[in-house]
């Protein structure tokens, strides 16, 4: 599949057109940003790792019945995906309190929630991706009740699948972010699922194995990305 003109460049990925108007190439960069772009840096080979991990995790959630945009991983840094009209909502799942939720409500990180929380945020960098409730989304007409129900159902399946998978490998899936989009009338899971978009803690030690190592200058960033990649992708 030949790369066509650049469609869009984001913080961690670039999208390129292909000769097929329904398909685009998602290119994974090593650029890392945090705190709504206030912190910037590079994680060596992050793009390669995230492409592999995302491919493997998309395959896993597809087995659980969640439709994704993944067609195939083309090479180290490129994934062929279905072209999506991305919904302006980020879907965040929280199993334990961490990150933004801890700061927002003045809570300690690591509190186990009585049940997983599915949180929506309005995807808008200039506004800082503010939290939005389902009631707001419906009242503004930004999605229908059916679409929200579908997002929640798919998100619950992803959480159940990945929580179990990482638990069996010795890790806690603390929280993660999903993005969905429309493709030919269907809503598909898009974007990526990797250490940039998940918090993973080692069960025994609570060691952080995700982008928090970069966000919080904890060191060993590349090692954590590589270690999780080997665990997720096996000896591929």
Interface of this chain with a copy of itself, residues 76 to 105, rule: CB under 8 A: 94, 101, 104-105
| Nearest distance from C-beta of residue 150 to a copy of itself, angstroms | 17
Q: How far is the C-alpha of 108 from the C-alpha of 14, rounded, in Å?
A: 36
**Residues contacting 155, CB < 8 A, separation 6+:** 91, 93, 118, 178
Backbone phi, psi, residue 186, to 5°: -105, 150
Q: Measured from the CB atom, is 7 or 131 closer to a copy of itself?
A: 131
Report if residue 108 touches a copy of itself, rule: CB under 8 A. no
Tokens 């409500």 -> residue: 105
SS3 97: coil
Partner residues linked to 201 by β-bridges: 172, 208
Instruction: Count interface residues toward a copy of itself (CB under 8 A).
Output: 29
Angle at CA of residue 9, ends 70 and 72, nearest 5°: 15
| Nearest distance from C-beta of residue 175 to a copy of itself, angstroms | 12
Q: Measured from the CB atom, is 86 or 233 closer to a copy of itself?
A: 86
Closest to 13 (Cα-Cα) out of 66, 54, 57: 54
Interface of this chain with a copy of itself, residues 17 to 36, rule: CB under 8 A: none
Q: How far is the C-alpha of 176 from the C-alpha of 200, rounded, in Å?
A: 9
Contact flags string 112-141 toward a copy of itself, x per CB under 8 A: -xxxxxxx--x-x-xx--xxxxxxx-xxxx
Report if residue 235 touches a copy of itself, rule: CB under 8 A. no
| Nearest distance from C-beta of residue 70 to a copy of itself, angstroms | 28
Residue ranges binding a copy of itself (CB under 8 A): 94, 101, 104-107, 111, 113-119, 122, 124, 126-127, 130-136, 138-141
């Amino acid at each position: 599949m030949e790369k066509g003109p650049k469609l869009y460049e984001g913080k961690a990925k670039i999208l390129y057109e292909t000769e097929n108007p329904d398909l685009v190439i998602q290119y994974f960069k090593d650029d890392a940003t945090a705190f709504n772009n206030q912190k910037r840096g590079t994680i060596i080979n992050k793009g390669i790792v995230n492409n592999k991990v995302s491919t493997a995790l998309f395959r896993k959630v597809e087995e659980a019945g969640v439709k994704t945009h993944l067609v195939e991983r083309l090479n180290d840094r490129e994934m062929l995906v279905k072209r999506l009209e991305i919904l302006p909502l980020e879907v965040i799942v929280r199993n334990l309190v961490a990150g933004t939720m801890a700061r927002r409500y003045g809570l300690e990180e690591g509190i186990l929630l009585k049940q997983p929380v599915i949180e929506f945020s309005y995807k808008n960098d200039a506004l800082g991706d503010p939290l939005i409730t389902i009631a707001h989304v419906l009242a503004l007409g930004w999605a229908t009740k059916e679409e929200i129900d579908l997002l929640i159902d798919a998100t619950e399946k992803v959480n159940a699948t990945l929580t179990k998978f990482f638990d069996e490998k010795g890790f806690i899936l603390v929280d993660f972010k999903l993005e969905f989009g429309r493709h030919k009338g269907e809503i598909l899971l898009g974007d990526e699922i990797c250490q940039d978009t998940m918090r993973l803690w080692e069960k025994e030690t609570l060691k952080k194995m995700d982008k928090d190592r970069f966000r919080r200058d904890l060191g060993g960033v590349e090692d954590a990305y590589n270690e999780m990649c080997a665990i997720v992708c096996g000896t591929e």
